[in-house]
Amino acid sequence: MASDMEHVREEIEDENRGPSFHCDLYDTEISHKIAQMLLPGLATACVDNTTGDIFRTPALVAVDLRKEFVEYLTQRSESFVAETTILEGDLAAEASDDPYEIIADFADDFATLKRNLFGRISGWLLSEKREDKIDDIVQEMELSKFWAIDRREAIARTLLKNVDFKGAFHCVMKFDTTEDLAEHVASCGFRSMICANEGCNTRFTAAHLEKHDLACPFKIIPCEQNCSESLMRREMDRHCITNCPMKVVKCPFYQVGCQSTVPQCTLKQHIHDSLRDHVLRVLQRSHKEASADDLKRQAEQLESFSSELASACDVKSLTMVLKDLEARLQQPEATMTTGLQSDAHTTTSNAEQTEVSSPAHINTDYQN
Ligand SMILES: [Zn+2]
Ligand SMILES: [Zn+2]
Ligand SMILES: [Zn+2]
Ligand SMILES: [Zn+2]
């Protein structure tokens, strides 16, 4: 790119020596943007020129003003280089390099020149009615093909080349032979390209390839949350908040006080690693009146049932499993504080029968 620019500069210096085959490629995006702007630019002049006038309407002055408008823009764009080089210091720094902005300013100046007496009233200039009227005229002009887009494109291209004296938006290269020109055109930074990403048909100037690629919705990129997947940019947001394994989720035991947040792919591991903590928290909730030591002891005892406990992945199912296990461990004469001291392993064999006969005084709080 840098060497391209050097080349361009040499070419500008060589201007008088005259290779005669010009590359006339240009930035089609910005030229299109300028062509689009010409219509509202003209409509504004037409509206402000005739507002409050009972004899003249925007439609009536449109043909004449269009001619004047094009002449005005052409003349301003031709003298732009000379005007800009006179500017010094701050003024030069403030001057825009963007051909669209430069030409939009010319268009504004034209509309200002064309304002009639009523059009100069600031209340009118700021009114919504004026905006609506301009929009209506633009629409009318579009529908009636009053100023066809290809004609506006041709004007925009000329204006662009006039104001873009640095060659940032159009190619200024010239060649001695058509062969040299053809060779250049194939690799010119202003040649038109179609995005190569599958599903995307965007057309752009070659120099904008990188810019487009960085934003192309169809570009396949690695997951922003660093999971192993790669997917289209436009699917990224959805992926990251739904099925991305690295999506951060709350521990399902947050409602009983576990504050952990973990990537969803490690949730199972967290549930496994924090089993004792989760059991204790669920027990604390179901036995509010029990002492911390008792609950701790109870949780330790229940650890011998780790395979059953591990299958419970949320508060509800862990509560059920614990309720079931407690019932199995429960001796008929047991109380809340002593009941779980019997050997857990000897009671597991009766699991099926004891399941249904859990003493009510232990389980009343379970569903809180
Ligand atoms: Zn070129
Ligand atoms: Zn694309
Ligand atoms: Zn992901
Ligand atoms: Zn947890």
- Structure-block tokens of residue 16: 């008088």
**Which-ligand-closest: CA of 199?**
2
pLDDT confidence tier of residue 176, bands split at 50, 70 and 90? very high
- Our CA dihedral for 283, 297, 346, 339, rounded to 10 degrees, sits at -70
Least confidently predicted of 40-54, 116-130, 209-223, 254-268: 116-130
Structure confidence at residue 336 as a pLDDT band (50, 70, 90)? very low
**Residue 228 CA: which ligand is closest?**
3
Which pLDDT does position 347 carry in this prediction?
A: 40
pLDDT-derived band at 308, boundaries 50, 70, 90: confident
Q: Report how far ligand 4's centroid is from the alpha carbon of 282 (Å).
A: 11
Tens digit of each residue's pLDDT (9 = 90 or more) over 86-115: 666 666 666 678 999 999 999 999 999 999
SS3 8: helix
Query: What spacing in Å lies between the alpha carbon of 317 and ligand 3's midpoint?
Result: 29
CA angle 267, 268, 269 (to 5 degrees): 90
d(CA 357, CA 284): 22
Task: Compute, in angstroms, the gap from residue 47 CA to the centroid of ligand 4.
Answer: 68
Burial 230-247 (b: 16+ CB within 10 A, else e): ebbbeebeebbeeebebe
Task: Provide the 8-state DSSP code for 221.
Answer: E
Whether residue 353 has pLDDT greater than 60:
no
Measured CA to CA, the distance from residue 204 to residue 212 in angstroms comes to: 8
Q: How confident is the model at residue 48 (pLDDT cuts 50, 70, 90)?
A: very high
The dihedrals phi and psi of 307, each to the nearest 5 degrees, come to -65, -40
Expressed in angstroms and rounded, the spacing between residue 236 Cα and the centre of ligand 3 is 8
Sequence letter at residue 245: P
Residues 42 and 66 sit within 8 Å (Cβ to Cβ): yes
Question: Which ligand minimizes its atom distance to the CA of 265?
Answer: 3
Distance, CA 288 to ligand 2 centroid (Å)?
60
**Which ligand is nearest to the Cα of residue 275, counting in written order?**
4
Q: Identify the band that residue 17 occupies on the pLDDT scale cut at 50, 70 and 90.
A: low
Instruction: State which residues have CB under 5 angstroms from ligand 1, the bound ion.
Output: 23, 25, 171, 173, 188
Task: Pick the ligand that lies closest to the CA of residue 206.
Answer: 1
CA of 240 to the centre of ligand 3 (A): 6
CA of 235 to the centre of ligand 3 (A): 10
CA 18, CA 166: separation in Å to the nearest integer?
Answer: 19
DSSP code for 50: H
Average pLDDT taken over every residue of the chain? 83
> Residue 205: pLDDT above 60?
yes
- What is the per-residue pLDDT for 197? 95
pLDDT tens digits, 109-153? 999 999 988 877 778 888 899 999 999 999 999 999 999 999 999
How far is the CA of 125 from the CAs of 55, 109, 112, in angstroms? 21, 14, 10
Residue 93, pLDDT score = 61
Shortest-distance ligand to the CA of residue 268: 4
How many angstroms is it from 337 CA to the middle of ligand 4?
26
The pLDDT value recorded for residue 307 is: 81
Q: CA dihedral in degrees (126, 42, 172, 78; nearest 10)?
A: -90
Judge whether residue 344 has pLDDT over 50.
no
284 vs 79: CA distance, rounded Å = 84
The structure tokens listed for 201 are 């048909």
Residue type, 25: L
DSSP state letters, 226-281? --S-EEEGGGHHHHHHTT-TT-EEE-TTGGGT---EEEGGGHHHHHHHTHHHHHHH
Point out the ligand nearest to the CA of residue 315.
4
- b/e sequence 277-293, b meaning 16+ C-beta within 10 Å: bbbbbbbbbbbeebeee
| Residue 10 burial class via C-beta count within 10 angstroms: exposed 0-12, middle 13-18, buried 19 and up | exposed
C-alpha 211 – ligand 2 centre gap (Å): 10
Cα distances from 20 to residues 17, 24, 178, 179, 315, in angstroms, run: 9, 12, 9, 12, 82
Model-level pTM? 0.62
* Distance from Cα 198 to the centre of ligand 2, integer Å: 8
